[in-house]
């Protein structure tokens, strides 16, 4: 395990592909969502329409291969394989943090995927702390260099506090987000990194002019756990202790989606532990616009190459299509209005959000 930026990115990939870095006790709470069965759907499976509009681009299905990596040779290979797959399947694609592009020359190529994904919805990515130290012009150029259709500005205080040498000062984040919403030529998507967005944060973001969010909720990969593993290998007992205490910190993905919908955000992307078509269907029924899958796609790619990842994603889409038929939903918009039953723990999280 290493502390330089490229080494850290390599560590992240290895741990996500091979390590035990999931949440231990906390789940996404998507298991607390039951979709109500329609025994008389009056639908033909081939007539079910999974297409949707996301950030100005039409997707074949409301699926995003979510942000993972960049900045190393291995990361560049993964980005090109998965971006090409997104192009073939008609999904969206998210790049990992582009911080490396700003601090280290020669990493741009690891993020450049437009030659293999010319029409794909591509989301760039930059941390809010790093964005606060850059001009809007610099950030716009960074997004343009990779052909990004939108820029994710990620929030990751829990991860940073465990990371050796990570950020400790998060002041000015709201001002940075507001500035980027006003000044960037592409839409801004505010995203968490595994700890979710609360209702209060959603209302603050909306007041800043934000209309698009990615909840990246708790229940999937714990980036606190990732950094805890790195701290353990580095012999940093203090960081490891904090990481163990906060490994399960965060708002479950299902709860965060409900909160963002209630807060009135126009686009809500559900990521964080989403890995099946049925889970995507549940997220959409809670108010999500689309859903992102990260670690399961990476693992499928590592295990079976591009064909393995393709087979995995095609299975996810088939499962989503099946859930749509069984809820009587011909379109994604119909699915968002589908009847659902919420379990008590998810209901308790929703009760923590004030009525609008």
320: left (phi over 0), alpha (psi -120 to 50) or beta: alpha
Share of the chain above pLDDT 70, in %: 94
Round the average pLDDT of the chain to a whole number and report it: 92
Q: Which residue reads 């087979």 in tokens?
A: 311
Q: Which two tokens stand for residue 300?
A: 């499928």
The pLDDT of residue 297 is 96
Q: Which two tokens stand for residue 275?
A: 């890995």
Average pLDDT over every residue of 245-271: 96
pLDDT digits (tens, 9 = 90+) for 100-135: 998 888 899 999 999 999 999 999 999 999 999 999
pLDDT digits (tens, 9 = 90+) for 312-334: 999 999 999 999 999 999 999 99
Cα–Cα distance measured from residue 246 to residue 248, given in angstroms and rounded to the nearest whole number: 5
The pLDDT of residue 40 is 98
Cα–Cα distance measured from residue 103 to residue 190, given in angstroms and rounded to the nearest whole number: 22
Cα–Cα distance measured from residue 191 to residue 211, given in angstroms and rounded to the nearest whole number: 12
pLDDT digits (tens, 9 = 90+) for 26-44: 999 999 999 999 999 999 9
The pLDDT of residue 342 is 97
Would you call 136 exposed, middle or buried from its count of C-beta atoms within 10 A (0-12, 13-18, 19+)?
middle
| Cβ partners under 8 Å of residue 128, min gap 6 | 153, 154, 155, 170, 173, 176, 177
Average pLDDT over every residue of 270-286: 98
The pLDDT of residue 3 is 46
Question: What are the counts of helices (DSSP H) followed by strands (DSSP E) for the chain?
Answer: 15, 12
pLDDT for 16 beyond 70: no
pLDDT for 243 beyond 60: yes
pLDDT for 15 beyond 70: no
| Cβ atoms within 10 Å, residue 206 | 16
pLDDT for 191 beyond 90: yes
pLDDT for 284 beyond 90: yes
pLDDT for 196 beyond 90: yes
pLDDT for 70 beyond 60: yes
Q: What is the dihedral of CA 130, 132, 133, 137, to 10 degrees?
A: 100
Cα–Cα distance measured from residue 120 to residue 159, given in angstroms and rounded to the nearest whole number: 29
The pLDDT of residue 234 is 79
Cα–Cα distance measured from residue 162 to residue 262, given in angstroms and rounded to the nearest whole number: 31
Average pLDDT over every residue of 7-32: 77
The pLDDT of residue 14 is 67
Average pLDDT over every residue of 7-19: 65
The pLDDT of residue 13 is 63
pLDDT for 192 beyond 80: yes
Cα–Cα distance measured from residue 84 to residue 64, given in angstroms and rounded to the nearest whole number: 13
The pLDDT of residue 2 is 44
Angle at 46 between CA 42 and CA 52, to 5 degrees: 95
pLDDT for 57 beyond 70: yes
Average pLDDT over every residue of 289-311: 96
**Please, which pLDDT band fits residue 1 given cuts at 50, 70 and 90?**
very low
The pLDDT of residue 233 is 81
Domains annotated on the chain, with CATH: 5-351 (3.20.20.70)
Do residues 232 and 251 make contact, with C-beta atoms less than 8 angstroms apart?
no
Q: Which two tokens stand for residue 21?
A: 């870095």
Q: Which two tokens stand for residue 204?
A: 């603050």
pLDDT for 306 beyond 50: yes
Do residues 131 and 100 make contact, with C-beta atoms less than 8 angstroms apart?
no
pLDDT for 10 beyond 70: no
The pLDDT of residue 8 is 65
The pLDDT of residue 307 is 97
Q: What's the DSSP call for residue 191?
A: E
Cα–Cα distance measured from residue 5 to residue 106, given in angstroms and rounded to the nearest whole number: 13
């Amino acid at each position: 395990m290493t502390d330089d930026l490229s080494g850290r990115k390599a560590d992240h990939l290895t741990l996500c592909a091979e390590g035990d870095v999931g949440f231990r006790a906390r789940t996404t709470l998507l298991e607390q969502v039951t979709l109500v069965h329609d025994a008389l759907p009056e639908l033909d499976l081939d007539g079910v329409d999974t297409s949707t509009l996301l950030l100005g681009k039409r997707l074949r299905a409301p699926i995003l291969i979510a942000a993972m990596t960049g900045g190393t040779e291995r990361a560049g290979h993964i980005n090109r394989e998965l971006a090409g797959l997104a192009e073939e399947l008609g999904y969206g694609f998210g790049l990992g943090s582009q911080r490396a592009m700003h601090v280290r020359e020669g990493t741009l190529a690891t993020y450049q995927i437009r030659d293999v994904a010319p029409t794909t919805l591509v989301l760039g990515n930059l941390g809010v702390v790093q964005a606060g130290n850059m001009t809007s012009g610099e950030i716009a150029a960074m997004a343009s260099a990779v052909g990004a259709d939108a820029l994710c500005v990620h929030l990751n205080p829990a991860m940073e506090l465990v990371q050796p040498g990570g950020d400790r000062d998060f002041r000015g984040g709201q001002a940075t987000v507001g500035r980027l919403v006003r000044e960037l030529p592409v839409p801004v998507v505010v995203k968490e990194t595994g700890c979710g967005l609360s209702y209060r944060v959603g209302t603050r973001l909306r007041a800043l002019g934000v209309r698009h969010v990615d909840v990246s909720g708790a229940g999937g990969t714990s980036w606190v756990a990732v950094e805890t593993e790195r701290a353990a290998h580095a012999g940093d007992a203090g960081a490891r202790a904090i990481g163990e205490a906060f490994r399960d910190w965060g708002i479950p993905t299902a709860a965060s989606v409900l909160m963002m919908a209630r807060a009135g955000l126009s686009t809500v992307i559900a990521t964080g532990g989403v890995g099946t078509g049925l889970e995507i269907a549940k997220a959409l029924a809670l108010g999500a616009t689309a859903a992102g899958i990260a670690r399961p796609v990476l693992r499928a790619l590592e295990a079976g190459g591009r064909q393995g990842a393709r087979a995995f994603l095609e299975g996810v889409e088939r499962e989503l299509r099946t859930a749509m038929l069984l809820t009587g939903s011909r379109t994604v918009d119909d699915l968002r209005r589908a009847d659902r039953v919420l379990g008590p723990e998810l209901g308790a999280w929703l009760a923590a959000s004030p009525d609008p």
